Structure 1
């Protein structure tokens, strides 16, 4: 995880494990919905998404005119529950093999993105398996973490071993300032909604520098 706004640090955030550079942000307002939790937690996840969108200067909507909801957050105990969810395989044709991969990896979270023709994010499916590790984390922390990781197409290695969140002295989770600056700069209107060339990171680093100077 980066602790500066150097082009090298920014490049790492969007360089995937196969070496390719891939960046995308949302091209439409985000209309979130949550499944598998009580109403109080639905409020927490929507509040976290709204907070991150405010930071980005991006819109939140009640509904998406094409999809209804375009950011779907599923909380579950076992990955098998996804197979048993009605009609989910229609939205995610690769659901069967995906669930097998998640089981084999003993994963506790996964995000699946869909894209617009111009490469911007069109939809995101967020899956959170409440294993022993996740069950010990406050709902506010889980929701903020998922909102942050859904606002951009980060590298699959961006937050390995280092959370985008930090804890205050009161044990409240907040977004790390360097991650917040990347999000703000990425949503600057002069920046593209998608990029697959690492030269994008140079522009992004320059925007971050302009924001924090």
Structure 2
């Protein structure tokens, strides 16, 4: 079971600041770089996690068209050839160079509305050997979970948000409970005060 202190660390950035945000509008995902079979798996993961959170998906975003873009590719340099991506991701060339240098296999960028809630997200997954070895369902679920909230950079470095239940990969129950609590309509869509962790904790279901 998560404690208030553990919840706080999940939203504490590397610079020490607390920053919580959830989606403030219906999510409209679009996926690039996969076959139709995998596309249905990714969209199914979105639908399952949205249902868990009690949040909505939509066919189109009136401002952006699609507001959650997911890219799968082999090499970071491929992003430099995507039309207009440099308009969505500032300093794209410098970012790609940094990710190549770090040997990264995933990266997420968020945009926020005036209230601080998530208004758009960009998910980049480089299909290296580690990523390619994962079942499509596992890979898709992990990426969707990590885009549902503005987790800290270190949130899942030590432990995945997923777990095995027999032969199936599932969302860890405590992470599922935290996502459900985070989308409680009583709570604000964004918070910068660490006391928000206590509010999240108070809304999590306790095991019987």
Output the TM-score relative to the length of structure 2: 0.97
**1:60 pairs with 2:54:** no
Report the CA distance between 1:94 and its aligned residue.
2.2
Match of 1:204 among 193, 200, 208: 200
C-alpha root-mean-square deviation of aligned residues, in Å?
A: 1.0
In the alignment, which residue of structure 2 is the partner of 1:92? 89
Structure 1 ranges of 4+ moved more than 6 A: none
For 2:85 and 2:192, the matched residues in 1 are separated by: 29
Match of 1:101 among 75, 92, 98: 98
Q: Is the 8 A contact 1:26 1:120 kept in 2?
A: yes
For 1:117 and 1:17, the matched residues in 2 are separated by: 23
Q: Which 5+ residue runs of structure 1 have no aligned equivalent?
A: none
In the alignment, which residue of structure 2 is the partner of 1:10? 7
Q: Is the 8 A contact 1:33 1:42 kept in 2?
A: no
Report the CA distance between 1:26 and its aligned residue.
0.1
Report the CA distance between 1:212 and its aligned residue.
4.9
**1:70 pairs with 2:67:** yes
Report the CA distance between 1:84 and its aligned residue.
0.9
Output the TM-score relative to the length of structure 1: 0.95
1:56-101 deviation per Cα after TM superposition (whole angstroms, max 9, x unaligned): 0000111111101001000000000001111111111221111111
In the alignment, which residue of structure 1 is the partner of 2:170? 174
Aligned ranges 1:1-213 → 2 under 5 Å: 4-170=1-167, 172-209=168-205, 212=207
Report the CA distance between 1:42 and its aligned residue.
1.2
In the comparison of the two structures, how many residue pairs are matched? 208
Q: Which 5+ residue runs of structure 2 have no aligned equivalent?
A: none
Report the CA distance between 1:5 and its aligned residue.
2.6
1:124-167 deviation per Cα after TM superposition (whole angstroms, max 9, x unaligned): 00000000111100111110000000000001100002100001
Any idea what SS the aligned residue of 1:33 has?
strand
For 1:164 and 1:88, the matched residues in 2 are separated by: 29
1:8-57 deviation per Cα after TM superposition (whole angstroms, max 9, x unaligned): 11111101111110000000000000001111111111110110000000
